[in-house]
Amino acid sequence: MSIRLRLLLSYIAMFLVPVMIFVLFAALLLAVFYKDIKSLEDASSDNTGKPWFQIVSNYFNKKNELVGGIRFLAKYDPDRLADYLFLTKTDEQLRNLRAGLVVVTDDRVTFASNLADGINLNDELQQPDTNRWGQNIKNTYSVDRIDFNFSDHRPGTVYVLADYKQFFGFISKFFPAILLSLLVAITLTNGLLTFLVSRSIIKPLYALKKAAEHIQNGDLELEVNVRRKDEIGKLGAAFEEMRRRLKTSIHLQLQYEENRKLLISNISHDLKTPITGIKACIDGIFDGIADTDEKRNKYMKMAYKKATEMDQLIDELFLFSKLDLKRLPFHFVKIDILDYLRDFADDLRHDPQKQGVLIDFQHDGSHPVYVMVDLEKLRRVMVNIVDNSMKYTVREPKEIRIELVDQEHEVTVSVRDNGTGIAEDALAHVFDRFYRIEHSRNRKTGGSGLGLAIVKQIVEEHGGKVWAQSALGEGTAIFFTLPKGSGDGHEADPDYRG
């Protein structure tokens, strides 16, 4: 669930949950105040089974109707307000509504409802604010005052008293409780949702912060384990990917540093050997040891051979460095790899240095097989693999077998020899830069340990892969793949040999 959806649901819940809790609280409060509501219901038989708010509305409507009727009589038939029987019946109707009448004629109470029992009405009449008819009664009852004149012009006043103590007691308790329950529902809901949502966000952020602190201190071992499917989960996955890549990068950097140290050590040794030979040859000439033309010529050839070895070593090192730094340009052309390998095998057969070596080329078809390659770099791959095979092939007759396998999306080229083979524990490292197997690839065979590493770099730049198969005493096979090409680039010269 995304954070956006999570927040949207929390906003909806912040509205719905308080409403639901409020309804539950209201139902509970109605149960608590049932007696108060029941007493209002009992005020009229018409209220049975009706909602409490309708009961309250009916209560005030009936009371207002009676008060309106009294106002009408006071205006149009005031003498009936002196009729004791009429006043008694009207008072009985008001009594069901917890109300009553008090009639004052000539400042004297001529009729008083039982509702006013216990109140000294004459004292109340002496209150200075006669319009309000005394503060005590106003504090106890709701008072409606109706002034009128009898037919004989005597002044009179009717007071309609309504006992709202119970109702207002209900209101003063019920509505504050309802309001409090609403506030509690909102507070609890918002607090709980805020806690849950913030916890679901803050907790993984703390995990990321902890991981960042470990990375800051150079510790890349702490795994960022944020198993979520939202934006924070994606952030955690990206952070973990960054940590792993950074760890791999630092590991590679340390490996590169170790390789550079090994390179310096190997190159220093491999350069020192031919230089020492060249110095020895020159010293022999200077010291007169080579006192004949034949000896001098021999010493000069030895010096030239050593210089050539140094030149080849430096060229190989320079090539590998450019490949490693991705600074060697590639110029891809489309070629028929079948014709290319057939021509390469023919070149090997006519190479004077390969005299006595059985060169065989095998393939599984005769139709053209097109690939996109850099011809110069591909020739370097083939030459390095063949030279590596020749160095460690000691059995006679020496054999080099080149094979092409055509597949749906790529071709596989293999170069197999009948040499001494490679031990299983060393096989996985033969393409590592500067790697040399001392017991089988000794210094006398030459090489810097870069030949197969260069092969790997070039093949991977072509989008292929390389691997080796070998068994001690049975020879070694080097395989590499090339993806098939469909038309990017230009056709190669068919007579090109690289």
Q: Are the C-beta atoms of 108 and 115 separated by less than 8 Å? A: no
Please report, rounded to a whole number, the percentage of residues in the chain having pLDDT higher than 90: 14
Q: Are the C-beta atoms of 386 and 400 separated by less than 8 Å? A: yes
pLDDT of residue 493: 47
Residue 437, burial from CB neighbour count under 10 angstroms (0-12, 13-18, 19+): middle
pLDDT digits (tens, 9 = 90+) for 304-326: 888 887 887 788 778 877 877 77
- Enumerate the CATH 3.30.450 domain ranges in the chain, comma separated: 41-163
pLDDT of residue 174: 66
Q: Calculate mean pLDDT across residues 240-263.
A: 80
pLDDT band for position 383 (50/70/90)? very high
Q: Quick check: 38 pLDDT over 70?
A: no
Q: Quick check: 393 pLDDT over 60?
A: yes
pLDDT of residue 26: 72
pLDDT of residue 188: 78
In this structure, CATH architecture of domain 41-163: 2-Layer Sandwich (3.30)
Q: Calculate mean pLDDT across residues 380-409.
A: 87
pLDDT of residue 135: 43
pLDDT of residue 165: 60
Q: Are the C-beta atoms of 479 and 417 separated by less than 8 Å? A: no
- Enumerate the CATH 3.30.565.10 domain ranges in the chain, comma separated: 333-491
Q: Among 310-319, 335-344, 435-444, where is mean pLDDT lowest?
A: 435-444
CATH number, domain 333-491, options 3.30.2320.50, 1.20.1280.50, 3.30.565.10, 3.40.50.300: 3.30.565.10
pLDDT band for position 438 (50/70/90)? low
- What's 291's DSSP letter? -
- Enumerate the CATH 1.10.287.130 domain ranges in the chain, comma separated: 231-324
In this structure, CATH architecture of domain 231-324: Orthogonal Bundle (1.10)
Q: Quick check: 428 pLDDT over 60?
A: yes
Q: Quick check: 413 pLDDT over 90?
A: yes
- What's 283's DSSP letter? H
pLDDT band for position 129 (50/70/90)? very low
pLDDT of residue 131: 41
pLDDT digits (tens, 9 = 90+) for 255-303: 778 777 776 777 777 777 788 888 888 888 888 887 888 888 888 988 8
Q: How far apart are CA 124 and CA 270, in angstroms?
A: 128
- Alpha-carbon separation of residue 449 from 106, 240, 352, 461, 472 (angstroms): 133, 35, 25, 20, 20
Tokens 């749906």 identify what position?
A: 408
pLDDT digits (tens, 9 = 90+) for 166-204: 565 666 666 777 777 777 777 777 777 777 766 777 777
Q: Calculate mean pLDDT across residues 444-457.
A: 74
Q: Give the DSSP per-residue string, 366-426.
A: SS--EEEE-HHHHHHHHHHHHHHHHHT--SSS-EEEEEEEE-SSEEEEEEEE-S----HHH
pLDDT digits (tens, 9 = 90+) for 74-120: 888 888 888 888 888 888 888 777 788 888 888 788 888 877 765 65
Instruction: Share the mean pLDDT of the chain.
Output: 77
Q: Quick check: 64 pLDDT over 70?
A: yes
pLDDT band for position 497 (50/70/90)? very low
pLDDT of residue 3: 58
